[in-house]
Chains A and B, each alone.
Chain A
Amino acid sequence: MSEFIDRSTFDHLVHLAALELSPEQAEYLLRELNNQLKAIRELEAIPLDADLPVTLHGVPYTSSISPTLRSDDWQPFDRPQDILAQAPQAEDGYLIVPDIPHTTLE
């Protein structure tokens, strides 16, 4: 468990993350990622019992403190135009985006 993030793995991550990087930024980010990974490795040395559970929230949520579920009702927002006004490009209530690439499945 001593692998580092190599250049091809890094490039794959950048692609999956829908990013593009300048060479200088790529160099900085790859170096920092590997430095962080070194810090993360400290976790490997901790002995963990096989039955140790995960913790997703520090504070336990019991039925008594979890909010009761509300009914799944449609609640209209009273100013939809304020939401649409935030879109970089919209027309007739639709969001406009560049061409969506299509792949024909065999």
Chain B
Amino acid sequence: MELCDLPAYELMRLLRQRKISATEILASCLARIETIDGRPGSLEPGEINEEDQQTVHAFITLTDDRARAQAMAVDKKLAAGEDPGRLAGVPFTVKDIFCVQGTRTTAASRILANFVAPYTATPVARMEAEGALMVGKVNLDEFTYGSSNESSAFQPCPRNPWNPQRVPGGSSGGSVASVAAGEAVLSLGTDTAGSIRQPAAFCGVVGLKPTYGRVSRYGLIAFGSSLDCPGPIARNVTDAAMMLQVIAGPDAHDSTAANVPVEDYLAQLEAGVKGLRIGLSPDYFKITYPDERGEYVQQAVPQEFEAAVRHAADLLAKMGAEIIEDVPMPNTRYGIPAYFVISRVEAASNLHRYDGVKYGYRTMEPVRDLNEMYRKTRAEGFGPQPKLRILMGMYVSAAQYSEQYYQRALRVRTLIRRDFDQAFDPNGKYRLHALLTPTTPTTAFPLGAVYGDSVLMQYADQLTVPANHAGVPGISVPGGIATDGLPIGIQFLAADYQEALLLRIARAYEQATEAESWRQLKPMVLQR
């Protein structure tokens, strides 16, 4: 096994014992990138050839020089007997939606393709301060608007390491692909409707969406400001806990970063699940979506998804957890319709700043005046998904429609929150410590199968988006391999700021399944 395939906790142990160096760890990741990533995403990709279809394409910008300097600094500290930090020598990637000073920060959009950030996002700064090595900026859906990464202006877009003909999910697709393929050990993603958990499920890794406000959004290019959550992506629960420990906490630069003490996520990690109440809800074993005629149809999630969740429940019960069946979460189905309204209003508001004046792209066409410059710049700079969000956001928040759409969606959001309040109420009927669900209704779909149908694409997030409306934390962990050879993700959701509990439950499940045969399977790109 290569160093790049080891867990972060193991790398740090070997590093502190001076058996390996940070420079060697980094070299291992860079060699893996060289072998399997193929060419990075670009605005002028030309034809996507045969070779492109077999490689991962996680990256937009490789920052190997930055990472080498960081690795040397870690090795120097170790040699001097100094503490190199809580993530010393661990290579990580950053979704290219976070500003990192001196790096191109593109949001996977032509309109920011030449933008070099003048400052660094808080979670990235905290990781670098603890000795982590920033290997590069990874691809995503344009401005995070998608669930497959196909909407990126930088092509070839990322592909699923388990099967490169499948999407990695999104929007943190480059993040999960880079971690699943051993190009990095950790990645920093964001989750607005499921954008950490859904791709983590598709690529067989661990993805944690913290409570809204648990991790600072300073330096994150905003999408839905009331929904966006930065969070860790890792190959195991312990690594995710170590990363969250570093990035969580209040921040003077973000007034929504809650002033809540950060728990010790590692102290309770191995404490088991004895006495914990874990719920199952029938509302998470089905999805509701509009068919071609706009009629709503309900469909059960695939049998093997429900089986993976029930298997997890059985294992947890054997370890002493109490499984509570039939927890009602009746407003789950309204998560997507409400999201179509709320996220679009917030996105439209956030996208007005891209005007060709202060930074980013400006049209090269001759223009008569400022207004024409705005129009041509935005027409050429934005792809179809940002345009769709601007137009929908403006429509549903217009004075004459706001009551009917935006205000109504915000009240439906209250109902979604109440589902969770009732499930987790310590004096209520269910008194859950966590809810256990499938993360997604399908495994990773083929490239081209959904892209273009903006409604169907959004419904990929049906089981993840309620946690964003409610603000509660959620974690997706690998829960098996489906008959199509692709990973299945299972999700645990908990009450506000209960990340320590979530990680502890996820860790217990991980331990209980360590010997299962599917754990031995490796992504296709690593089998060559």
Give chain A's interface residues, CB within 8 Å of chain B: 1, 5, 9-10, 13-14, 16-21, 25, 28-29, 32-33, 35-36, 38-44, 46, 48, 52-59, 61, 64-70, 77, 79, 82-83, 85-89, 95, 97-101
Contacts and interface: CB of A to CB of B under 8 A. Distances in A.
Contacts of A41: 337
A36 B340 contact: yes
B357 A20 contact: no
Interface string B389-428: 0111011100000001101111111111100000000000
A67 B256 CA distance: 8
Interface stretch (B86-94, B310-318, B366-374, B511-519): B366-374
A11 B360 CA distance: 26
A2 to B, nearest CB: 11
B410 A36 contact: no
Interface of B: 101, 115-116, 118, 211-213, 226, 250, 252, 255-260, 290, 294, 296, 333-334, 336-338, 340-341, 348, 355-362, 367-376, 378-379, 382, 384, 387-388, 390-392, 394-396, 404-405, 407-417, 453-455, 458, 468-472, 496
Contacts of A58: 212, 226, 413, 416-417, 468-472
A52 B331 CA distance: 15
Nearest to A85: B116
Contacts of A21: 379, 387
A33 B334 contact: no
A20 B376 contact: yes
Nearest to B255: A67
A88 B357 contact: yes
A86 B359 CA distance: 5
B374 A39 contact: no
A98 B334 CA distance: 46
A52 B34 CA distance: 55
B372 A43 contact: no
25 contacts: A5-B395, A10-B391, A16-B394, A17-B378, A17-B394, A29-B388, A32-B454, A35-B294, A35-B453, A36-B455, A55-B417, A56-B226, A57-B212, A58-B470, A59-B213, A61-B256, A68-B259, A70-B252, A86-B360, A87-B357, A87-B359, A97-B357, A98-B372, A99-B370, A101-B371
Contacts of A57: 212-213, 226, 256, 471
B211 A39 contact: no
Given A36-B458, A65-B258, A97-B373, 9 more contacts: A1-B404, A13-B395, A16-B394, A19-B378, A29-B391, A39-B458, A43-B341, A58-B226, A82-B101
